[in-house]
Structure 1
Amino acid sequence: MAAVLGAVQPGMATAELADMAREQAKKRAIGLTMRTNMGFPDDISVCLNAQAMNAIPGRTTLIKDGDALKLAVCGTDGAGAFCVQNWSMQAGTILPRRRLLLEHARACIDAAVPLCRPGVTVSALVAQLGKSALDKGIFISPHFAGHMIGAQPNLPPMIVKPKRWFGTDHVLTEGTVLSLFVLAHEGKPTLAERGDGWTMLDRQGGLSAAFSHMVRVASAPQVLTGSYPLYA
């Protein structure tokens, strides 16, 4: 993730980032699972601006100066352990409106990490994320949300959902590894599938930012993934 994000610059194609991710995964002897486990057409997802989720990297899809970029990478050691992370950054010229969205979305997930303790309910995480978003004046997507990690890359329950989706409220337990994920929008989102069967777009052109961390539930929650710059 660090190597790919560090290479981002205006003028490059999003497919170049996928190429680099494959090179880095091979170098580190890990597998990329978006294609093999989820049927995605490529090994990573790279979304630009109004693309909210699951955009397929392309040779003719160029990163422009000021673009907001969302990168999603899923990996495995081949022995049953999975890792997934999403990160957002801005390429080139820093635009204030986009800078605020990135900073506010990251602040939401940072505020939720301390709640990943044994005995805390998922609805408490939901409430914290909702409060953080309200305080920052942004909207958290109800369609794409955090999830548990188990013998597959992602498992229910979803994290950002109304409490009624859970039935009995899920209680976090010691040692659980949680993928805490936030997809935040600058305005109330109106998402639609692009037509390629994967890419989700905001029909009104609204921007979004995605951040996630792998967190081990403990009395002192342990963040297992790295943090990276917000600007390239």
Structure 2
Amino acid sequence: MGTPLIKGMDVERLRRAGQAAAGTLAHVGARLAPGISTADIDAWVREDTARRGGTPSQLGYKGFPAAVCTSRNHVVCHGIPRPDERLAPGDIINVDVTTCLGGFHGDTSATFLIGEVSAEARHVVDVARRCRDAGVAVVRHGARLGDIGAAIEELARQEGCSVVREFGGHGIGHQMHLPPHVSHVGRRGTGITLRSGMVITIEPMVNLGRAEIRVLPDGWTVLTEDGSLSAQFEHTVLVTREGCEILTPTPPAGEML
């Protein structure tokens, strides 16, 4: 099954879902500080998502017990919020928000710096952000899926980092996860051809050390195998004839609250 092409009013519904998710992410990000628990983040996401008229897509998805993924330091993805996990100066934390609004989903994440962080932490966060943007920059009608992975992997390698292979982006629309799988590694000119109207997420997970990962017994929490820091940034994008439209843009500072 291929990715459904989004047309007409459905594009506007996707924009609204993406803007809601981006607004919640910005709202939560502005409140992060040492001493905040990851359970606090979960509560804020629930409250803000409801305030915007949406529901958290992640809550209950395949049994996931929270409304948001909170992945701190060497946690690559799918970190489960806990009341006993508190942010400390020097931490980095990825907050992954997905909102269902009007029957469509918007999916976005960012990694935040808590207080003064090490040069290594700042580096991996910066590289992860630039890797996402490099992947987004090659999206257009007629591009190949492998072009995205190649752009991301090349930049990460140049910066001395690695890209997680086991997880990637995905199609999105009426469901949170749809085909195709969007690998963040690859070769240019390979993979399916992107078509105007496709909606996908680009969300590279970039490690400061090696790319290998392991999953905790909870079945969700993914760690770097070598204990190195990991960072991630994500946008939902609509493929267009001219390039792409970012459906989860960061709102202006005055609109975050």
Same fold by TM-score, threshold 0.5 exceeded? yes
1:38-93 Cα distance to aligned partner (Å, 9 max, x none)? 321111011111111111101111111110101111111142x1111121011011
Alignment RMSD (CA, Å):
1.9
Pick the aligned partner of 1:28 from 30, 35, 52: 52
Distance in 2, matches of 1:163 and 1:226, equals 26
Aligned counterpart, 2:76: 52
Distance in 1, matches of 2:208 and 2:44, equals 30
Q: Is contact 2:152-2:185 (8 Å) kept?
A: no
CA change 1:185–1:162 in 2 (3 A) is closer
1:18-54 Cα distance to aligned partner (Å, 9 max, x none)? 1111110111110101123332111101111111111
* Runs of 5+ unmatched residues, structure 2: 1-24, 252-257
What is the number of equivalent residue pairs in this alignment? 225
Aligned counterpart, 2:16: none
The alpha carbon displacement at 1:151 in A equals: 2.9
1:158 counterpart SS class: strand
CA change 1:102–1:162 in 2 (3 A) is closer
1:138-193 Cα distance to aligned partner (Å, 9 max, x none)? 111101111111332012322226669xxx83111112111111100011133111
TM-score (norm 1): 0.91
Aligned counterpart, 1:191: 213
Following TM superposition, where does structure 1 have runs of at least 4 consecutive aligned residues deviating by more than 4 angstroms? Answer: 161-164
Aligned counterpart, 1:18: 42
Pick the aligned partner of 2:161 from 116, 125, 138: 138
Distance in 2, matches of 1:137 and 1:227, equals 28
1:179 counterpart SS class: strand
Identical amino acids, percent of aligned pairs: 28
**1:56-71 residue pairs with structure 2 within 5 A?**
56-71=80-95
